[in-house]
Chains A and B, each alone.
Chain A
């Protein structure tokens, strides 16, 4: 089904052409209602573009909730139900008269962005997706597709093997954290359980079922977006979509940390480094060439399980007492110095990298109103290298007189009036100098899809505070930048907003609506399901 397409593409089916006549759009006021759902730690946004004389144009950006959230299926069903009832247009496709969602954007394959497509499949079956947008990396015909998926599979396989080996008490904190990183964000189906059913080859490129479900629903061919491209919103000549990320440079999205050039860090080693670690943890897997990764010839090795235990030197100076370490150190003077498990801590770095790669594969885009030049920014969970890669992009865009003007990411950031805060407000997903500090519009407002209580509950031994979302300094700066116009998904009314923000015009535009029962056992305990505001185009 999926063929690779970039900017220029022919629309195969364009239903109801009349209602979106281009001539009418000029000069007529357009606005967008941005609704942030309050499901918890996860993203689901519904954008409704409204213009007099036209049908509403609805775009959904992501639909997910962090795995392991209580009652997540019930919650997501209510969310999707609310989306369904909000949609005002219906279409008949293949004989089925269903609600019509013009565009569904899938930013990246993390559960907190896509789980809803699985959890609320029955409701989505009653909604047509006009067109699904995703990043170029999800295009099976893209030359890099296979490499990216196989790498992903290797990382996951290796990490799970490492987790199985972490047994020592000191590593329980690390183990918990790595487990969170894997299982909160990735569907169990991609974590490699069903190898037999698919065969080894297919397993290596397996996608999350929810993701595939959403992609297949696209009535038109899905649009796989490449950075540097620009197109107008179908039916709206004066609304442009700029694709910012993910970069097509493989190195860019594997680069995860701002300061790696001057440290021992670095992903420059390709993946040989990771694979040599995985070869040791996943001895039985044939993915990693275990023997080749051994540092020395076979005859130089003294097997640790049998031969070394009979070797006087190692018995005396390393010791093999398996009983739990005696804190006084008297029983076994070697116990506190043994290093049986220390090497496994690399799993932490590798898990982070996996998470970062995925975040860096985010489809990041900006929506521009041509008339007012206002920009809405949706970076997904893009991390620093994804943000940085935008800086190199330029577009040649004709102005009113038809003269081509150079547009850069910086210009778009300068004109941003709405910012969907990336990665629930963590501090590595909003760039400072090349990000928030460039958003200089006095009208700037922001939404953070976050559940602070949930984030804080992610306590492990190594991280007693849980996840800091939103990060304190970033949150402070956001409030300064936006003059308090920040909406958080975990606030069910505007009490705190009114403390933060004194802009009465803005406060008037904020609405809480719908109803959500988080706990099916308490159907009467209801709160608003979404918060929304209107941005004039």
Chain B
């Protein structure tokens, strides 16, 4: 549709619950529980809704039925900001899930400064682009909701509320997880995180799954602060003290109450004392991190740490306001706060929340590619923030360090808990190597492609690879052009072609009948038909492939001494030497016939460009790559038992952060595969340990050992 002269709207307004339906039946919160989500205007947006990122398909297998998809472009729906919130209307459920998931995606993109991609779908031979995350709002009849990495889908359940402790429901009334802002945001975040770090779903450390959980909670929590009405109401209610009980720090209230708990499912700052029947703030305990092993409980420690950091920053930022409002004493007079003060406090809270959330999301770029733990994450947050905002005059980083320390979370291998030692250490000049400079220069080409997506990538300019390899890269980016072209229907070919080269005879022919220059044009047509994210996916994968090629060449022709310096710096092993063989039992050798047999295989796990501008105008222009390797090692180590033939994949790898301006390697974040830090032993202990101490583990096997297909299904269900 074209609308002459009228600019495309910026946003689409959709009504929804700011928390979940339970708050709409409580007098004090009913008025603020209905929020209007302002989400990006997507065009086209089909029925479903089906847009660029999401597709909602409402199948309810337990009830053996489907529910009619909503058309958000229906003028009646457009005119009233979407359907009115209602538990009994499945179309509203679709709208709500879509609105919250889109909000979450936008928050992510804003912080990272690039488009979000879902993790690829792996069929038998290839990795394929997944354009849309699928949302099934009524997939399960159980008190559960999860992200399925296999199906790239969010599965939401519904269930009757507990009959003995109904909370704010009628007993046995239905609770829909897809109507909870927190649960939808949480599950969407799982999917976004999996799109960035697909190895984080491997249960290799007590922190890995807990990190996934915690991160998803953090995103859901801080999104509460983007609803101005709620924020003002809660600030007025708590008189500006966000550390006391407020809705903002709680997650999934209806769910928590419906399954028979008294308070919310999780509360970042306090908990409901069942004996005394009242809410109590939780005191941080430095032993928490050592003691708590269950993923949600462990994740809660991280959530609490981040939330406390937020609270301290907020307090710091509003002390002046409070002094102004209290004649310089800082002690507020009893009674209600002045509405202006409430507004100002709310604005500070919203801004702080946004900044803290962005810090947390940006930290993801600086994480190791595998086996993450909370200490690593703290270091990643600090480093990312130092890079962007060198002067920490507001004390943000101190607040993070302090609150992590209070919960006993610190990296195992640093000497002091200062900002400078927590930041990943800068690669020193004498450690720099030519190879990094070479790689960075060459990768600039791909960064350039990412910046100008409307141009068909001129793959001939990829530096330093053979022509055959260029064709291979082209096929990665464009897919099978012949097939794609032949699959287009004649009208589509004609229309696109016309737009591209006017007054040209229309080739609606098969690929083989096209002349070479026509093929060139046809490729342009195909390129234009791809969505931006598909282009990014293709370019990213081509960059990974090219990088792999360059590094494979490097290990083939570089001096052995040089390569071993590379190995020492990155922790990635390339050459089979006697020394390495001793350390690295179980790493695979290259099978490719063109490469000599004495090379280790490795994977170019990811390639990301990060271009950001800090508050002081400082620009960060980096390219982030990660390389990984795996070893097949016996599960039981040196002590054979009844079943000692079992093996598992022990992964190592590094994230390299390269500066596109200086062409230097800035940071190496690595997980050693040679076990010189005892990580293998710890991982063995974890994998064979009491991690799954439940009856489920006896009969169903332990999740960490059975290569579970749906890691989040069990974590959330059962």
Contacts and interface: CB of A to CB of B under 8 A. Distances in A.
B203 to A, nearest CB: 15
Contact of A265 (B90, B159, B717): B717
Contact of A355 (B63, B124, B695): B695
Interface stretch (B2-10, B253-261, B558-566): B253-261
A293 B160 contact: yes
A427 B162 contact: no
Interface in A247-264: 256-259, 261-264
B153 A272 contact: no
A346 B698 contact: no
B705 to A, nearest CB: 7
Contacts of B689: 473
A354 to B, nearest CB: 11
Interface stretch (B96-104, B144-152, B189-197, B458-466): B144-152
A359 B162 CA distance: 24
B693 to A, nearest CB: 5
Given A308-B65, A343-B139, A472 B698 contact: no
A308 B65 CA distance: 8
A302 B136 CA distance: 15
Contact of B259 (A269, A341, A472): A269
Contacts of A266: 143, 259-261
Given A342-B139, A343-B139, A302 B67 contact: yes
B641 interface: yes
B153 A463 contact: no
Interface string A145-156: 000000000000
B68 interface: yes
A199 interface: no
Q: Could you say which of A263, A302, A460 has the most chain B C-beta atoms within 10 Å of its C-beta?
A: A263
Interface stretch (B11-19, B47-55, B369-377, B381-389): B47-55
Contact of A473 (B162, B690, B695): B690
Contacts of B297: 259, 262-263
Contact of B699 (A293, A352, A383): A352
B666 interface: no
B66 A302 contact: yes
A263 B699 contact: no
B66 A428 contact: no
A56 interface: no
A213 interface: no
A120 B715 CA distance: 44
B128 interface: yes
B123 A465 contact: no
A177 B698 contact: no
Contacts of B143: 264, 266, 269, 273
Contacts of A428: 693-695, 697-698
A343 B142 contact: yes
Contact of B61 (A339, A383, A456): A339
A336 B121 contact: yes
B256 to A, nearest CB: 9
Contacts of A492: none
A405 interface: no
Contacts of A259: 294, 296-297
A177 B695 CA distance: 12
Contacts of B165: 268
B586 to A, nearest CB: 19
Q: Could you say which of A268, A383, A456 has the most chain B C-beta atoms within 10 Å of its C-beta?
A: A268
A264 B695 contact: no
A339 B164 contact: no
Nearest to A263: B296
Contact of B698 (A268, A464, A467): A467
Given A317-B48, A427-B698, A473-B689, A340 B161 contact: no
Q: Could you say which of B50, B128, B161, B718 has the most chain A C-beta atoms within 10 Å of its C-beta?
A: B718
Nearest to A334: B57
Interface range, B side: 35 or more
Given A276-B141, A317-B55, A268 B706 contact: no
A349 B151 CA distance: 21
A301 interface: yes
B643 A272 contact: no
A301 B159 contact: no
A535 B707 CA distance: 46
Contacts of A301: 60, 63, 65-67
B535 interface: no
A341 B139 CA distance: 10
B468 interface: no
B693 A427 contact: yes
A328 interface: yes
A121 interface: no
A268 B62 contact: no
B66 A343 contact: no
Contacts of B68: 300, 302
Interface in A299-354: 300-305, 308, 311, 313-314, 317-318, 327-329, 336-337, 339-343, 345-346, 348-349, 352
A262 B266 contact: yes
B123 to A, nearest CB: 5
Given A277-B62, A346-B141, A348-B700, A264 B716 contact: yes
B153 A337 contact: yes
Nearest to A453: B642
A314 B717 contact: no
B161 A272 contact: yes
Contact of A170 (B139, B259, B294, B709): B709
B158 A295 contact: yes
Given A268-B164, A427-B697, A273 B159 contact: yes
Nearest to A259: B294
A280 interface: yes
B676 interface: no
B362 interface: no
A267 B162 CA distance: 9
A503 interface: no
Contacts of B706: 462-464
Nearest to B707: A464
Nearest to A292: B172
A356 interface: yes
A294 interface: yes
Nearest to B716: A264
A468 B695 CA distance: 10
A504 B599 CA distance: 57
A308 B162 contact: no
B181 interface: no
Interface in B686-715: 688-690, 693-701, 705-706, 708-710, 713, 715
A343 B699 contact: no
A272 B160 contact: yes
A356 B717 CA distance: 16
A359 B695 CA distance: 11
A262 B296 contact: yes
10 contacts: A262-B266, A269-B163, A272-B163, A304-B61, A304-B66, A311-B66, A342-B148, A343-B61, A383-B695, A428-B697
Interface of B: 47-48, 50, 55, 57, 59-69, 88-90, 121, 123-125, 128, 134, 136, 138-144, 148, 150-153, 155, 157-165, 171-172, 174, 176, 255, 258-261, 265-266, 294, 296-297, 300, 641-643, 646, 688-690, 693-701, 705-706, 708-710, 713, 715-718
Given A268-B261, A269-B161, A458-B699, 17 more contacts: A181-B699, A263-B715, A266-B260, A268-B259, A277-B62, A280-B62, A293-B141, A328-B124, A329-B128, A336-B123, A339-B153, A342-B713, A345-B717, A346-B141, A348-B696, A462-B701, A465-B705
Interface of A: 170, 174, 177, 180-181, 256-259, 261-270, 272-273, 275-277, 280, 293-297, 300-305, 308, 311, 313-314, 317-318, 327-329, 336-337, 339-343, 345-346, 348-349, 352, 355-356, 359, 383, 426-428, 452, 456, 458, 460, 462-465, 467-469, 471-473
Query: Which 8 pairs between the two chains have the least Cβ-Cβ distance?
Result: A268-B260, A463-B701, A301-B65, A280-B62, A269-B162, A272-B160, A259-B294, A302-B66
